[in-house]
Amino acid sequence: MLCKFEYPPEKNVNIITAGLINGGLFLFIQSMKYFIALEEAALALSGIYLLTIYNMGLPVWVWVPLFLSPDVAMLGYLVNTRVGALTYNLFHHRAVALIIVAYGYYTHNSYCISIGILLFAHSSFDRMLGYGLKYADSFKHTHLGWLPEKNNG
């Protein structure tokens, strides 16, 4: 037996355990939260790589604020939580991003392809940080769970 896996893991265990099984290397991530964050990081990096290809000739310094631009959708929360959740989710749903990419691909519109890739990469980046799609009752209530309260101490 290489190692013993327990759920839930003890508080003082490593997040990632490496070992050899049948001559091959494996990684076992002991917390689903970190496993999902790793997956989202891979998706975000893939999207950022694709933005280097479909960059519309814009320099990198322009793409940094553009990468953060989907968060403008949070302005819907100035109206109320229902409108805020609707606008936020519209700009952060990966299916919407993929539909925009597909539309751009089939109409040969590189702007739509770039916008869709940007939305996809940004959404994955946000999810890597723990910000998921929002429920209408509260900004802190996401499909990934509740966002933690900030400690001001």
The verdict on residue 59 lying in a domain is yes
pLDDT of 93 higher than 80: yes
| pLDDT tens digits, 2-60 | 444 444 444 444 455 555 455 554 555 556 778 888 999 999 999 999 999 999 999 98
Tally of domains within the chain: 1
Q: Is the alpha carbon torsion for 21, 27, 31, 36 positive or negative?
A: negative
The residue range of the domain holding 121 is 32-146
The verdict on residue 72 lying in a domain is yes
* Number of C-beta neighbours around residue 130 at 10 A: 15
| pLDDT tens digits, 133-144 | 999 999 999 988
